Amino acid sequence: MEIILAKNHGFCYGVKRAVEMANEAANNDGKSYTLGPIIHNPQVVGRLEDKGVSPVQEVSDIAEGTMIIRSHGVGPAIYEEAEEKGLHVVDATCPHVKKAQQDAKSVINEGMTLVILGEKNHPEVKSINLWANNEGIIIEDEESAQKLQVVEKMGVVVQTTFSQFKFNSIIDILEKKSKNLKVFKTICNATQERQNSAVDLA
pLDDT tens digits, residue range 138-186?
999 999 999 999 999 999 999 999 998 899 999 999 999 999 999 999 9
Residue 2 within any structural domain of the chain: no
Which residues have a Cβ under 8 Å from the Cβ of 11 and sit 6 or more positions away? Answer: 19, 39
Residue 73 sits in the same domain as residue 164? no
37 and 8 Cβ atoms separated by less than 8 Å: no
State percent of the chain over pLDDT 90: 73
Q: Kindly report the average pLDDT of the chain as a whole number.
A: 92
Torsion region of 199: left, alpha or beta (phi above 0 gives left; psi -120 to 50 gives alpha):
alpha
User: Residue 71 has what DSSP assignment?
Assistant: T
Phi, psi of 113 (to 5 degrees): -75, 125
Burial of 124 (0-12, 13-18, 19+ CB in 10 A): buried
Residue 122 sits in the same domain as residue 163? yes
Residue 124 within any structural domain of the chain: yes
Confidence of residue 40 (pLDDT cuts 50, 70, 90): confident
Active site residues: 124
- 45, 69, 93 — which closes off a domain? 93
137 and 116 Cβ atoms separated by less than 8 Å: yes
Confidence of residue 191 (pLDDT cuts 50, 70, 90): confident
- 64, 93, 122 — which closes off a domain? 93
Residue 128 sits in the same domain as residue 84? no
User: Which of 169, 122, 164 has the alpha carbon at shortest distance from 144?
Assistant: 169
Pairing between β-strand 66-69 and β-strand 53-56 as defined by DSSP bridges: unpaired
User: Which of 101, 55, 93, 50 has the alpha carbon at shortest distance from 73?
Assistant: 93
- 32, 61, 93 — which closes off a domain? 93
Residue 201 within any structural domain of the chain: no
